[in-house]
Amino acid sequence: MATTGNKNINSKLVLLGDVGAGKSSLVLRFVKGQFIEFQESTIGAAFFSQTLAVNDATVKFEIWDTAGQERYHSLAPMYYRGAAAAIIVYDISNQASFERAKKWVQELQSQGNPNMVMALAGNKADLVDTRKVAAEANATGFVLQLTCLQEEAQQYAQENGLFFMETSAKTAANVNEIFHEIAKRLPRVQPQNPSGMVLMDRPAERVASASCCS
Amino acid sequence: MDEEYDVIVLGTGLKECILSGLLSVDGLKVLHMDRNDYYGGESTSLNLVQLWKRFRGNDQPAAHLGSSRDYNVDMIPKFMMANGTLVRVLIHTDVTKYLSFKAVDGSYVYNKGKIHKVPATDMEALKSPLMGLFEKRRARSFFIYVQDYDENDPKTHGGMDLTRVTTRELIKKYGLDDNTVDFIGHAIALHRDDRYLGEPALDTVKRMKLYAESVARFQGGSPYIYPLYGLGELPQAFARLSAVYGGTYMLNKPECRVEFNEEGKVKGVTSEGETARCKKVVCDPSYLPNKVRKVGKVARAIAIMSHPIPNTSDSHSVQVILPQKQLGRRSDMYLFCCSYSHNVAPKGKFIAFVSTEAETDHPETELKSGIDLLGPVDEIFFDIYDRYEPVNEPSLDNCFISASYDATTHFESTVTDVLNMYTLITGKVVDLSVDLSSASAAEE
């Protein structure tokens, strides 16, 4: 949930999308500036935080990765709980992954908070270059397919209140941009949810002073 | 699914999810399946539609109750001791980061037909209307003895070896009357029956200290905390831990059948025609009905109300313990109440539970003395469920079966079962020596 105060906004951001669409790669690129070509399925770390400064506020994203629970449709409802933003990721070279992305949007519309900022990321946009190169050298079926999918995604995003970007975790294209755009779109004043406490293995004084939460 | 795993876990109840998490963190390859399409098994929290489906068949919930998804009604209502073992496990595994908690407002005890706040310290004992003037002073000295008692410092033992002196003998030394003993034993030390009186006093003294230290931790009106959105969040959080460490999750897997080899040892689990091989199976009693026996049953009422439980200072979350003797029963009865302040119901609504170890087959009449304390209810549901314990020998069949959840008001017995199972499975002990004295909480 997004909480505000002194223009510090904390917001939970969830990633959704087909296995292999590049959810973890997007986060790794954004948080650590890394890209690993043959990224193993997510193990050991599925909770990142990263702070972004936008014009009028500092936004701290708490980013949740699916930890592979989406593979057999076993994502826990707590995943969506209190999420202020979501990035739905598909692979631009894979029509099936776009169809799955639409399913995730539906899932979010039924389970998530109605004011959630949703971004549709057509990932692996480095393949766009392949698209252009190939287009110049006579369009192949593959290229046509990529272009069609891009138009379809754009239209789908418009109709469903998402914003759309093609990203590449590999080249970093549009990665910071998509998070930045979400940060700009987050509501500055959120309805006050009853707030709770997070248990920590730390002394109270330190927690109070280092509190990320306002 | 057609692979080999170190452990296959069946059922996503809290116990199974904690074990799944601990085992994945240990580096074991875990497959975790559930026949239901939701997490939590018996210890899930239901929304209104699911609640009606379970208890009212085809009826629809009335519109005035509000939106279905605003409800998270626990099927096994319990609170967490602020300094208890579940909190230690949460901190040890770092699962706390997925959860938010709030203190529970009140802890009460039923005594001679009335509800009273449970005194947790010597000062509160002096103020409590539960005791007469002279009894208060005696109780105060007893509370001071308990507060000062340090297992490692014989000077604080008052010349008694509490591993040998019974609780009855210790209490006699302070001259407490039966009424005082009743609420100390049941509402502070949280014993379920009166066997503790004949047992070494050390356990009771430790339980009283846990209660007092838990109350002190959050300066709330009770020793308890409770997660926002209900207890169903707990299994989900531990399942996430397991997944983060490589555990594979499959919900909605019908007819999970455990397969054995000629020696009677587990060799895998079959569902939907596919078999996953494994060395060990961990499950709740429902997955291996031939290896468990019925040991009792729990009677329970679930009420949706538009007001807090009367006479609890308008507490939005509260526990009331009705000691067995006060009701002429063999086991205690428990009242819980949670509300929109913990995000388990829409604004203005309260969820109350009455539960006890069943002594008859008629929950409505058996639970009446507890239900009468609730005042008017919008809706009420009755349920009775059997409790099972494993009877197998895990070293022979490699099946590790959890016991059903009991009627107790907190998770101490739940976590004890989990930790014992972990040791049986791995031969190791979970090191829970997190520094609770420095552990604290941050307001969001």
Report yes or no: A189 at the B interface, CB cutoff 8 Å: no
Report yes or no: A130 at the B interface, CB cutoff 8 Å: no
Alpha-carbon gap, residue B330 to B327, rounded angstroms: 9
Distances (CA, A) of A34 to A3, A26, A166, B114: 29, 9, 18, 64
Number of H helices, E strands in chain B: 14, 20
Report yes or no: A39 at the B interface, CB cutoff 8 Å: no
In chain B, the domains with their CATH numbers are 4-43+231-293+388-430 (3.50.50.60), 47-105+295-387 (3.30.519.10), 119-217 (1.10.405.10)
Report yes or no: B250 at the A interface, CB cutoff 8 Å: yes
Sign of CA dihedral B261, B267, B270, B276: negative
CB atoms within 10 A of CB B3: 12
Give the residue among A182, A116, A210 at the shortest CA–CA distance from B440. Answer: A210
Q: Give the confidence band of A20 by pLDDT, cuts at 50, 70, 90.
A: confident
Angle at B56 (CA atoms; ends B50, B57), nearest 5 degrees: 80
Report yes or no: B219 at the A interface, CB cutoff 8 Å: no
ipTM of the complex: 0.82
To which residue do tokens 């008017």 refer? Answer: B376
- Residue B126, helix vs strand vs coil: helix
Phi (first) and psi of residue A6, to 5 degrees: 50, 35
CATH fold of A7-185, please? Answer: Rossmann fold (3.40.50)
**B217-232 per-position pLDDT tens digit:** 877 789 999 999 999 9
Q: How confident is the model at residue A130, as a pLDDT? A: 62
CB burial class (10 A; 0-12, 13-18, 19+) of residue B310? exposed
Q: How confident is the model at residue B208, as a pLDDT? A: 95
Mean pLDDT of A72-91: 90
CB distance B417 to B69 below 8 Å: no
Report yes or no: B348 at the A interface, CB cutoff 8 Å: no
Residue A87 identity (one-letter amino acid): I
Range in A142-156, A176-190, B139-153, B279-293 with the lowest mean pLDDT: A142-156
Provide, as residue numbers in chain A, all residues whose Cβ is less than 8 Å from the Cβ of B441. Answer: 197-200, 204, 207
pLDDT at A66 over 80: yes
pTM: 0.90
Alpha-carbon gap, residue A193 to B125, rounded angstroms: 37
Alpha-carbon gap, residue B123 to B125, rounded angstroms: 5
Interface of B with A in 11-40 (CB under 8 A): 38-39
Segments of B242-340 assigned E as strands: 248-250, 257-260, 266-271, 274-283, 292-305, 318-322, 333-339
CB atoms within 10 A of CB A213: 15
Percent of chain A's residues with pLDDT above 70? 75
The answer to whether the Cβ–Cβ distance between B236 and A200 falls below 8 Å is no
H or E segment to which residue B123 belongs: helix B122-127
CB proximity list for B306: less than 8 A, separation 6 or greater = B348, B349, B350, B378
CB atoms within 10 A of CB B354: 29
Provide, as residue numbers in chain A, all residues whose Cβ is less than 8 Å from the Cβ of B229. Answer: 78, 81
| β pairing state of B274-283 and B266-271 | antiparallel
Measured in angstroms, the CA of A160 and the nearest CA of chain B are apart by: 22
Alpha-carbon gap, residue B106 to A182, rounded angstroms: 42
Q: How confident is the model at residue B104, as a pLDDT? A: 94
Mean pLDDT of A173-200: 79
Give the residue among B70, B87, B90 at the shortest CA–CA distance from B79. Answer: B87
The answer to whether the Cβ–Cβ distance between B249 and A42 falls below 8 Å is no
CB proximity list for B397: less than 8 A, separation 6 or greater = B260, B264, B265, B266, B291
Q: Count how many Cα atoms sit within 13 Å of the Cα of residue A58 in the half-sphere of its side chain.
A: 10
CB burial class (10 A; 0-12, 13-18, 19+) of residue B178? exposed
3-state helix, strand, coil in chain A (%, to 5): 35, 25, 40
CB atoms within 10 A of CB B157: 17
- For chains A and B, CB pairs below 8 A equal 122
Q: How confident is the model at residue B31, as a pLDDT? A: 97
The answer to whether the Cβ–Cβ distance between A199 and B87 falls below 8 Å is yes
Alpha-carbon gap, residue B276 to B32, rounded angstroms: 11
| First vs last C-alpha separation in chain B | 40
Each residue's pLDDT expressed in tens, for chain B with a length of 444 residues: 668 999 999 999 999 999 999 999 999 999 999 999 999 999 999 999 999 999 999 889 999 999 998 999 999 999 999 989 999 999 999 898 889 999 999 999 999 999 999 987 788 888 889 999 999 999 999 999 999 999 999 999 999 999 999 999 999 999 999 999 999 999 999 998 899 999 999 999 999 999 999 998 877 789 999 999 999 999 999 999 999 999 999 999 998 999 999 999 999 999 999 999 999 999 999 999 999 999 999 999 999 999 999 999 999 999 999 999 999 999 999 999 999 999 999 999 999 999 999 999 999 999 999 999 999 999 999 999 999 999 999 999 999 999 999 988 889 999 999 999 999 999 999 988 776 654 555 444
Average pLDDT of chain A, as a whole number = 80
Give the residue among A36, A66, A62 at the shortest CA–CA distance from A50. Answer: A62
pLDDT at A207 over 50: no
Write the DSSP string, A136-176: HT---HHHHHHHHHHHHHHHHHHHTT-EEEE--TTT-TTHH
Q: Give the confidence band of A133 by pLDDT, cuts at 50, 70, 90.
A: low
| β pairing state of A57-64 and A8-17 | parallel
Q: How confident is the model at residue A204, as a pLDDT? A: 35
Alpha-carbon gap, residue B115 to B315, rounded angstroms: 13
Measured in angstroms, the CA of B185 and the nearest CA of chain A are apart by: 29
Range in A111-115, A201-205, B88-92, B113-117 with the lowest mean pLDDT: A201-205
Mean pLDDT of A159-167: 93
Distances (CA, A) of A91 to A19, A32, A37, A63, B340: 10, 21, 15, 20, 41
- Residue B388, helix vs strand vs coil: strand
CB proximity list for B435: less than 8 A, separation 6 or greater = A201
To which residue do tokens 């959050």 refer? Answer: B218
| First vs last C-alpha separation in chain A | 12
Distances (CA, A) of B102 to A3, A81, B81, B318, B413: 17, 17, 12, 12, 22
Interface of B with A in 296-335 (CB under 8 A): none
Q: How confident is the model at residue A159, as a pLDDT? A: 94
Q: How confident is the model at residue B443, as a pLDDT? A: 46
Domain borders along chain A are 7-185
CB distance B401 to B392 below 8 Å: yes
Q: Give the confidence band of A82 by pLDDT, cuts at 50, 70, 90.
A: confident
